[in-house]
Amino acid sequence: MTRRSKHRKAPGASPAAHPADGLALLGLSAGDAVRWRARPGAHWQTGTVVRRERDGSVAVTDGRGSTRSLVVARLEVAVTGARGARGWEPLAERSGRAEQLRLL
């Protein structure tokens, strides 16, 4: 009797299943700096964007190299202000703006 592996890939689990424009819809690209909190009041953790997951979350890699999937509402994206200062913007706001620009 042969054993089946529990960790088989789904038939559609190929790189093509994760379209490259999934991040573009949010106004992101792979390698963008992001930050998040594990819970309200906790310290900010920083990482980089890896890809968009099937469920709509964003896969990020933290400073230790661990990859995790976070919902859009928990992420903030690094931005540069009008005078060159660095700041953070909620990803939900950026994705809303990117969606409006795409409609024009």
Closest residue by Cα to residue 48 from 68, 22, 71 = 68
DSSP lists the bridge partners of residue 78 as: 88
CATH architecture of the domain formed by 26-103:
Roll (2.30)
- DSSP run (H or E) holding 45: strand 44-52
The domain ranges of the chain are: 26-103
- Over residues 5-57, the pLDDT tens digits come to 565 555 544 444 445 568 888 888 899 999 999 898 999 999 999 999 999 89
Q: Is the pLDDT of residue 75 over 80?
A: yes
pLDDT confidence of residue 96: 72
* pTM score over 0.75: no
Which of 51, 59, 57 lies closest to 92, judged by CA?
57
